[in-house]
Structure 1
Amino acid sequence: MSASVPVQSTVITPLVTPFTATGEVDLAAARALFRFTADTTGQLMIAGTTGEFPALDRAERRRLLELALEIAGPEAVMAHTGAPDAHTAAALTRDAVAAGATRIAALTPYYFAATEGELRDYFLQVREAAGGAELYAYLFPERSGIAVGPELLGRLAADCGFAGVKLSGSPSVEVAAYRAALPAGFTVYSGSDALLTTVLDAGGAGVVSGCSGALPEPFLELAAAHRAGADADELACLQKCVDRIVALLGPSAGRIKHALIARGLPAGAARMTVGHPDERTAAEIEKLVADIVG
């Protein structure tokens, strides 16, 4: 486990999954990426959307999680175990707990619509499988087809024992509304990288930032400056750099992978329909990386 970075929880990194040219999970590359993140944000989310989780089978998800836990330790790792159905989500959750995970995030079921009762049943099965691990709801209506508003989440949280939520897509900009509908100790993360300080000002805990997988430094600097009470001019300068990163990289696993490669990390290929940046965009990404990390 890395001990070089003080523990922080404002920026969580959902890592890409590196694949070989023939489509196999590249564990050697994953080890390098997990080590890089353990030494930067120190917070890893495994098999999330950025990690192409729909294309990973159960054994691959468990092996990637085991590797992350080996490198970073359970306090630094959040395992995503969401699935289209409760049976699979519960099985993935049992795998995660057996591997040593203590924080679980589960996307709502997806593809079919779900009533409130069906959502409750899904999350109760995941909750039972999670045992004593913290459970976070993961909301992404544009991908799952299921919208869970603040009041509904409040009811589900009470029934299913959620510790927090990760808001992606349209809910990611509604942190204040979700925060108001949830208990004081409930943890709210947003998937909107660029809104880090807005999320914190609205009572959120921070962001789950895909872009931080390749360029974590500006996000950590902005979070640290906000915690330290930096003035508006300093925050605006740091925000400008974050905005540049998000505009160029997010949300695109292919662009994030290109940025990782530009800084010398083995990001590998994609398994899903994740396109490579065109020549002009690739050059812009390479210049961005050079400007930030040299």
Structure 2
Amino acid sequence: MSLKQQLRGTGVALITPFTTEHKVDFDALGKVIDSLINGKVEYLVTLGTTGETPTLDKQEKLDIVNYTFEKVAGRVPVVVGIGGNNTAELVSDLHKFPLDKAVAVLSASPNYNKPSQEGIYQHYKVLAAESPKPILLYNVPGRTGRNMSADTTLRLAQLPNIAGMKEASGDMAQCMQLLRDIPEDFLLVSGDDALALPQIACGMQGVISVAANAFPSQFSDMVRASLNNDFASAKKINDTLLEAYDIMFAENNPAGVKAFMAEQGLIGNNVRLPVVPLSEGLHARVKTYLNK
């Protein structure tokens, strides 16, 4: 089965639960993984930015990846996030991380360095040559400070071992250009929960979602309906989630989605600095939404 078929639908950018002492809460992580698989999401993404990876040390990352594979036990595909702004360090990570059971590596475009488009291209070219698994590009200029242009993406799509992209620029014109020009076997998925429905309508194959951590069944039903061209049903579900998207991203990700999950009894409402929990007023909106 091709990666485009394996990763069609809803992928979830897994949060990392923490205890009140801010240690990784593996029991809660297990509950979250089971909740997502029982909610019928198509695949999981571990060590994405939603997992607070900038505040995880190397051993914690390795432990999370190993635990995730053990808990998932082959029930759904798993993508591992290995991204950053030090190309040489990422090459080392690609060889050191346990990737045998992964179907792909999701790698965010370099943040803070703000490389040129040629720098972004050369960065990914090196990663693709070194990675034991197919690379999924990740364009998220709101976090990285630099948009990966459609032209750069299309150049990268021609390279061996670059198999797809999570597109979170929010630029619909750029997305439509990509959908028009990418190779037939290239996987293009949304990285914006609130735009997933219209982007699938334009031709994307699914989404890597934050919101699905808290609403796996509803969100994945919406995505499946969209992929089946049943946009009336998809819109009905999406309309009920619009307010949740607004609340989740009003202050910080993953503080927003963690507040929802804490109220659902899945995790403790704990994040690591510099992220802080939702403000009292916004958290009250979480409770109101869930009690509707």
TM-score (norm 2): 0.87
Contact kept? 1:90, 1:126, Cα under 8 Å: yes
Q: Distance in 1 between matches of 2:268 and 2:73?
A: 22
Q: Distance in 1 between matches of 2:117 and 2:230?
A: 43
Give the ranges of 4+ consecutive aligned residues of structure 1 lying more than 4 Å apart after TM superposition: none
Question: What are the equivalent positions in structure 2 for 1:191-202 lying under 5 Å apart?
Answer: 191-202=191-202
Cα deviations by residue, 1:152-184 (Å, 9 ceiling, x for unpaired): 111122135311001124347742122223111
Q: Which residue of 2 aligns with 1:89?
A: 90
> CA offset at residue 127 of structure 1?
1.6
Q: 1:81 to 1:171 in 2, by over 3 A?
A: farther
- Report the identity percentage: 20
> CA offset at residue 106 of structure 1?
0.7
> CA offset at residue 13 of structure 1?
0.8
Does 1:25 pair with 2:27? no
Q: Which residue of 1 aligns with 2:135?
A: 135
Contact kept? 2:104, 2:134, Cα under 8 Å: yes
Question: What are the equivalent positions in structure 2 for 1:1-294 lying under 5 Å apart?
Answer: 9-40=8-39, 41-73=41-73, 75-98=76-99, 100-131=101-132, 133-159=133-159, 161-171=161-171, 174-230=174-230, 232=232, 234-250=233-249, 252-291=253-292
Q: Distance in 2 between matches of 1:281 and 1:255?
A: 9
Q: Which residue of 2 aligns with 1:4?
A: none
Q: Distance in 2 between matches of 1:113 and 1:183?
A: 27
Q: 1:173 to 1:57 in 2, by over 3 A?
A: farther
Q: Distance in 1 between matches of 2:102 and 2:148?
A: 26
Q: 1:123 to 1:66 in 2, by over 3 A?
A: same
Letter in 2 for 1:76: P
> CA offset at residue 249 of structure 1?
1.6
Secondary structure, in 3 states, of the residue corresponding to 1:282?
helix
Secondary structure, in 3 states, of the residue corresponding to 2:49?
coil
Letter in 1 for 2:282: T
What number of residue pairs does the alignment pair up? 283
Farther off after superposition, 92-101 or 45-54 = 92-101
> CA offset at residue 228 of structure 1?
4.3
Cα deviations by residue, 1:93-124 (Å, 9 ceiling, x for unpaired): 22345453221011122221323443333223
Cα deviations by residue, 1:233-275 (Å, 9 ceiling, x for unpaired): x443222112122122236311211111111112451113223
Letter in 1 for 2:163: A
> CA offset at residue 77 of structure 1?
1.0
Letter in 1 for 2:223: A
Q: 1:120 to 1:98 in 2, by over 3 A?
A: same
> CA offset at residue 18 of structure 1?
1.5
Secondary structure, in 3 states, of the residue corresponding to 1:207?
strand
Q: Which residue of 1 aligns with 2:3?
A: none
Q: 1:87 to 1:197 in 2, by over 3 A?
A: same
Contact kept? 1:173, 1:192, Cα under 8 Å: no
Q: 1:205 to 1:265 in 2, by over 3 A?
A: same
Q: Distance in 2 between matches of 1:267 and 1:82?
A: 27
Letter in 2 for 1:258: A
> CA offset at residue 190 of structure 1?
1.2
TM-score (norm 1): 0.87
Letter in 2 for 1:95: K
Cα deviations by residue, 1:6-49 (Å, 9 ceiling, x for unpaired): x8731111011112233322222222222222222142111111
